[in-house]
Amino acid sequence: MYDWDHYEELALDYIEGNLSDERRRTFESFMESHPEVAQEVRSLKESMPVLSVDRVEFPDKERLKRGVKRSLRWRQVGSFVGGAAAASVVVGLFGLLGSLGRIDDSIEYGGQQLAEQIEVIYQETAKSVAAETEVAQADDVKQDVVSDVISVPEKVVSTVDTYVGAVTPLTTLNKRIEAPKVDKNQEELNPVVLEPLFTDSYAVPDLIASNRDITLEQVELPEATTDELPGYDDSDEGLTDGTKEAMRILASLLAPLDDLLPIKRYSTENERGIEIASFIRIGNRVE
């Protein structure tokens, strides 16, 4: 027997035509003995008060967002090639700073000498990293990458400083880096403006394109076993060797900084790889 205290459930289904024949008949006979219910139902069948569409816009969308601001344009680069190229420049930066630590600071450098030495190290680092990350084909993204890479979050800069240790050239370098302004309330990272260090230095993509003959010793990358690397998985068959190598290099460089720059694996509908600090991605398109 139906619980008629809640006849409204049946009434709604009746009006919307969702009752089986049997239930419909039961409800119709219920209405015959309850004219007030029949009246309600008739009234709603005539016309049902329904809200019409009303557009309302949430005013603070950007504040809700968690990704890096669009102006950084990491996402526009997007593809593996772009990601790898961008990463290689970041790695280049790390490599450069790492190499600076090796400069014998007992030697007195004049500004010109220092500039030359840093340029050489920079080119060397850039070339070796670029070669490893198969970035040479990245013609179409060069400009994007160059403009993207000048935006380095504060964490990266300050971490690099602490990690490498303050040597004289770094002081020079830091003067050129405008301190980023981070508004704690908004939790947004503003881009850092990194001006060219030396007039004669080359951006990595330009260097790659120039085919300059650079024969200098290989830059040593910090060693780390792949087992310890965050986000790194050699066994993933969906990834090309180039991606794996890029992942390995980047992961090994950033492994000591895992707390500050969290590295994790990511996978989307058509891409897989590792993600650093939620905005640098190295990955493969997966069909």
92-104 burial: b if 16+ Cβ within 10 Å, else e = bbbbbbbbbeebe
Beta carbon of residue 277, minimum distance to another protein (angstroms, whole number): 10
Identify which of 204, 77, 79 has the alpha carbon closest to the alpha carbon of residue 132.
204
Interface with another protein, residue 279, by CB under 8 A: yes
User: Where does the chain have alpha helices with state H?
Assistant: 7-15, 21-33, 35-46, 61-64, 74-77, 80-100, 111-132, 142-149, 154-164, 168-176, 204-210, 241-254
Residues 197-216 that bind another protein (CB under 8 A): none
Give dist(CA 163, CA 184) in Å, integer.
24
Beta carbon of residue 62, minimum distance to another protein (angstroms, whole number): 9
Interface with another protein, residue 40, by CB under 8 A: yes
Interface with another protein, residue 228, by CB under 8 A: no
Interface with another protein, residue 56, by CB under 8 A: yes
Interface with another protein, residue 8, by CB under 8 A: yes
| Residues in contact with another protein, shown as a per-residue x/- string from 68 to 107 under the rule CB under 8 A | x------x--------------------------------
- In the list 17, 64, 106, 213, the residue contacting another protein (rule: CB under 8 A) is 64
Nearest-5° Cα angle at 240, 239 to 244: 75
> Quick one: which segment of 47-55, 167-175, 238-246, 255-263 binds another protein (CB under 8 A)?
47-55
> Kind of pairing, strands 182-183 and 263-267?
unpaired
- In the list 22, 53, 106, 200, the residue contacting another protein (rule: CB under 8 A) is 53
Question: Would you call 20 helix, strand, or coil by DSSP?
Answer: coil
- In the list 1, 6, 22, 200, the residue contacting another protein (rule: CB under 8 A) is 6
Which residue's entry shows tokens 């409800």?
27
Which residue's entry shows tokens 């969906």?
238
Closest to another protein by CB, 48 or 107: 48
Interface with another protein, residue 52, by CB under 8 A: yes
Give dist(CA 185, CA 201) in Å, integer.
38
Asked if residues 194 and 146 have their Cβ atoms less than 8 Å apart, the reply is no
> Quick one: which segment of 63-71, 106-114, 122-130, 190-198 binds another protein (CB under 8 A)?
63-71
Interface with another protein, residue 1, by CB under 8 A: no
Read off the tokens for 189.
């990272």
Residues in the site for another protein, rule: CB under 8 A? 6, 8-9, 11-13, 40, 43-44, 47-61, 63-68, 75, 266, 268, 275, 278-279
